[in-house]
Amino acid sequence: MTPLEKVKGLACWQGPVEAVPLGGGITNVNFVVQDGPRRAVVRIGDDIPVHQILRFNELAASRAAFEAGVSPAVLHHEPGVLVIDFIPGRTMAAADLRQDEVLDQALDLVIKVHREMPKYLRGASLTFWVFHVIRDYAQTLREGRSSHLQAVPGLLAEAEALERAVGPIEMVFGHNDLLPANFLHDGVRMWLVDWDYAGWGSPLFDLGGLAANNGLSECQEQQMLQRYYGALDKGLMRRYLAMKAAAALRETMWSMVSELHSDLDFDYAAYTAANLSTYRSALDAWRQV
């Protein structure tokens, strides 16, 4: 059965539906479905062990995100399928999030995720510790005899130094995948979607990921930290810059692993190269503090 056939055959529909692929996904296959007067987004994807994605966790986070007012409602789920309400709006690009007023709205959502979502979260919930993810990715690259193997020992050594620099953490529930395409704007407000990597960890990972993935300026980063924490000192900045570099390294190694294991039509090699450049710049910035 093809993904499209699976989508059309779901029991949740009121009658015959129209389904069209939704572009932009780099982990899942997505469709927009017209079901009478209602539109929905269907995400097709099983567990992905090499990326530590477990769909029970995505479902729990998606439900909590709706209750917290940051994400659309879950309409239906079954193994390998998640159906959510369609938000009519525009997918954000990195250039959008570099606009101060848009960045403020995005940060509002991140703060709400960290401080409000735990009130609505039910059942077992995963942790997300980026340095564990990096070490696990390194082993996956070794097992798959990746073309990037020569770089792995150096990346792991750098990650160890970054982990020491981050030090003890405050624990929050995070989104952990703040790519621009996971922010939607309906003309009035911002929404945050795609909870594949949600879990408990440091708030610095979401903040650093938001900056690294969207090319925020140093001034914007400082304003973001001031707003989130209420104060900013050199120690916090050094921990933040270490986590920002780790976020960029995780995205790089995610892409390296995807080069080996993903069947989606996406240029992972180019994505690896772009994120490796971002990582190197972030690492240099941390070293200079």
pLDDT tens-digit readout, 171-224: 999 999 999 999 999 999 999 999 999 999 999 999 999 999 999 999 999 999
**Same domain, residue pair 17 and 141:** no
pTM: predicted TM-score of the whole model, two decimal places: 0.95
pLDDT tens-digit readout, 64-75: 999 999 999 999
Task: Indicate if the pLDDT at residue 239 is higher than 80.
Answer: yes
Instruction: State the residue range of the domain holding 55.
Output: 3-85
**Same domain, residue pair 9 and 108:** no
The length of the chain in residues reads: 289
pLDDT tens-digit readout, 249-265: 999 999 999 999 998 88
Residue 29: per-residue pLDDT: 87
**Same domain, residue pair 79 and 95:** no
**Same domain, residue pair 100 and 167:** yes
Residue 28: per-residue pLDDT: 78
Whether residue 128 contacts residue 200, with contact meaning beta carbons closer than 8 Å, is answered with yes
Write out the H or E segment, with its range, that includes residue 77. strand 74-78
Tell me, what CATH number does 166's domain have? 3.90.1200.10
Q: What are phi and psi of 21, to 5 degrees?
A: -60, 145
Provide the domain count of the chain: 2
Stretch 141-165: mean pLDDT? 98
Residues 6+ apart with CB under 8 A from 246: 130, 131, 134, 159, 162, 163, 166, 205, 208
Q: How many CB atoms are closer than 10 A to CB 150?
A: 8
pLDDT tens-digit readout, 112-148: 999 999 999 999 999 999 999 999 999 999 999 999 9
Sign of CA dihedral 51, 54, 55, 57: negative
**Same domain, residue pair 231 and 107:** yes
